[in-house]
Amino acid sequence: MGRKVLFITTDQQRFDALGCNGGKIAKTPVIDGVAAKGINYQRAHNQNVVCMPARSTMLTGQHVRSHGVITNGIPLPEDGPDVARRLREEGGYRTALIGKAHFEPSSAPGGPYYENYAAGKGLYGPHRGFDYMELCAHTGRAGRSLYHYPRWLQEHHPEEVDCFQEYVTPEKQVSGLGGGDTGAPQVWHNHIKREHYHTDWTADRAIDWLSGLDEDEDWFVWLSFPDPHHPWEPPSSEQHRVNWRDLDLPAAYPGSVDETIKVLEQKPRHWLEWFLGKKRYNYETPPSFVPAEMTEDNIREVNAMCHISNELIDEAIGRVLGYIDGRGWGEDTDILYTTDHGEFQGDYGLLFKGPYHVDSLMRVPMIWRPAPSAGVTPAKVEQPVGHVDLARTICHIAGVEADDRMQGAVLPTSEDGSRERVLTEWDGTYNDAEIRQRTIYRDGYVCTVCEKTNVHDGTEGELYVLADDPRQFVNRWNDPALASLKSDLIADLYDNLPEAREPLEQVAFV
């Protein structure tokens, strides 16, 4: 009998959402306790700042350019490495994914990909190395994808389906339209019972699947919560937890439209153009949302909803961990925790995410609590790591040889100096506007190259000195005093990029 693996992910959660990472609002004692007993990575970065590329990197252990899912809307090829399949076929593990998968595009119910039609056909796997899949996303409505959760809600609690906002319908994507107190975009008062909301449902379904296993079976469970991703609509019964009126504005909120413009004018032009509503550069924002029109109270209310969602996730994790301990598995279970990407939550006067490589979106929580039986000393690790390291780490835990095509390395368990850099990329075209960005974090610097496209001329970029400028307000790209450093970082970046998969597909479905 080997070590079991509980891999927990959230969606669109900031590094500082957790108490163990400096969060001051949401109470997250469960995951804080996991971090205190394990390894808390202080400089973990995703390899792409939106859902599908990031999740594909977690599953494959490959950089985005290698697995080919360079943006949302491209299905992950099934011929690549797959950590779940590796554990299942080489290690005899039972494998399950409960919650949000998103390795395939969301489209119409009954669409061309397994994630689109599985629930409608009563299928629960196997798929992509998982014996069992039970899926949900960000809503209880069928919408464009009939996952298992909307189907369950319709069958068992049909009166609560309309409690959700359907965030993909055009009439709900107009800037300012929402059911909250302030009219914040994508905020909604959701009167569903807490126990029927998808956070608790995800935990319930994971416990149910685990309950069917024998005591001596090895298992790998990907427990994947859809929150705190928009639409921001946690159960209304939980709004007492955080009153938006009591919240301060984020430290990286410049303070007014004029002050925001001063900050964004220093960055490549796609920042300011999006803020002012002149251009939209990615699928992942509501079409009519103009950040410059957002009020300070809008920002406060969005943040309150995120904090509430984070507390509910933490409590749901606690229930799953309680079940695992009750089965006598706790001593032999490794826990890995991360998210796919962050969320602006008012930083730079913005919401959502896109081609913007700053800590708000790129720096993610990452925690590994090795099984207590492994005897690893708890630590905080400052050296850079990434999602690309997760697959090899999970294989290591399971005692299974990693697929040779997996990149990255086993996560360090101490500050051993084994890591120098972590890379993040963006390749996206939206409304004929193309952005290609390559970013390196090394030695406390964030350096982003904007490659030549029809948006950038190939001379633009960003360079931040985090020790002096943790908010990344002051772009030092054109600072003569840092010219040599910039040149070194750029050379290091391109020296460490793997070969790109050819051809790279374009978006099939959103």
177-196: average pLDDT: 90
Residue 496 has pLDDT above 60, yes or no: yes
Q: Number of structural domains, the chain?
A: 1
Q: Residue 505 domain-assigned? A: no
73-80: average pLDDT: 93
CATH of residue 211: 3.40.720.10
Q: What token pair was written down for 253?
A: 């909120």
Q: How confident is the model at residue 167 (pLDDT cuts 50, 70, 90)?
A: low
**Helical pair 83-91 and 51-60, crossing angle rounded to 10 deg:** 20
- Tens digit of pLDDT for each residue in 305-323? 999 999 999 999 999 999 9
Q: Residue 97 domain-assigned? A: yes
Q: Pick from 85, 37, 100, 30: which is nearest to 341 by CA?
A: 100
- Tens digit of pLDDT for each residue in 397-430? 999 999 999 999 999 999 999 999 999 999 999 9
- Tens digit of pLDDT for each residue in 242-299? 999 999 999 999 999 999 999 999 999 999 999 999 999 988 788 889 999 999 999 9
Q: What token pair was written down for 390?
A: 């997760």
Q: Residue 312 domain-assigned? A: yes
Helix (H, G, I), strand (E, B) or coil at 492: helix
- Tens digit of pLDDT for each residue in 15-55? 999 999 999 999 999 999 999 999 999 999 999 999 999 99
Strand partners for 425:
438
Q: Residue 119 domain-assigned? A: yes
Per-residue confidence (pLDDT) for residue 171, from 0 to 100: 45
Its domain, for residue 56, covers 4-251+290-338+364-415
CA–CA distance, 410 with 370 (Å, rounded to integer): 12
Mean pLDDT of the chain: 94
Helix (H, G, I), strand (E, B) or coil at 10: strand
CA–CA distance, 493 with 422 (Å, rounded to integer): 9
Q: Percent of the chain, pLDDT > 90?
A: 89
CA–CA distance, 480 with 487 (Å, rounded to integer): 11
- Tens digit of pLDDT for each residue in 171-186? 444 434 567 999 999 9
CA–CA distance, 300 with 103 (Å, rounded to integer): 32
What single-letter amino acid sits at 137? A
Q: Pick from 235, 269, 268, 260: which is nearest to 164 by CA?
A: 235
65-93 core/surface letters (b: 16 or more CB in 10 A; e: else):
bbbbbbbbbbbbeeebbbbbbbbbeebeb
Residue 187 has pLDDT above 60, yes or no: yes
Q: Residue 402 domain-assigned? A: yes
CA–CA distance, 506 with 5 (Å, rounded to integer): 34
Choice between 313 and 141, residue whose per-residue pLDDT is larger:
313
Q: Residue 379 domain-assigned? A: yes
Of the given ranges (142-146, 402-406, 436-440), which has the lowest mean pLDDT? 142-146
The verdict on pTM exceeding 0.75 is yes
Q: How confident is the model at residue 108 (pLDDT cuts 50, 70, 90)?
A: low
The verdict on whether omega for the bond into residue 228 sits within 30 degrees of 0, i.e. cis, is: yes
Question: How many Cα atoms occupy the beta-carbon half-sphere of 193 within 13 Å?
Answer: 9
Q: What is the dihedral of CA 107, 113, 119, 124, to 10 degrees?
A: -150
Q: Residue 285 domain-assigned? A: no
Contact (Cβ atoms closer than 8 angstroms) between residue 349 and residue 65: no
Name every residue whose Cβ is closer than 8 Å to that of residue 258 and which is 6 or more positions away in sequence.
Answer: none
Of the given ranges (11-20, 167-176, 210-219, 235-244), which has the lowest mean pLDDT? 167-176
CA–CA distance, 42 with 268 (Å, rounded to integer): 27
Q: What token pair was written down for 294?
A: 């957002």
Choice between 436 and 287, residue whose per-residue pLDDT is larger:
436
CA–CA distance, 354 with 279 (Å, rounded to integer): 12
Per DSSP, which regions of 116-234 are E strands? 132-135, 219-228
Q: Residue 503 domain-assigned? A: no
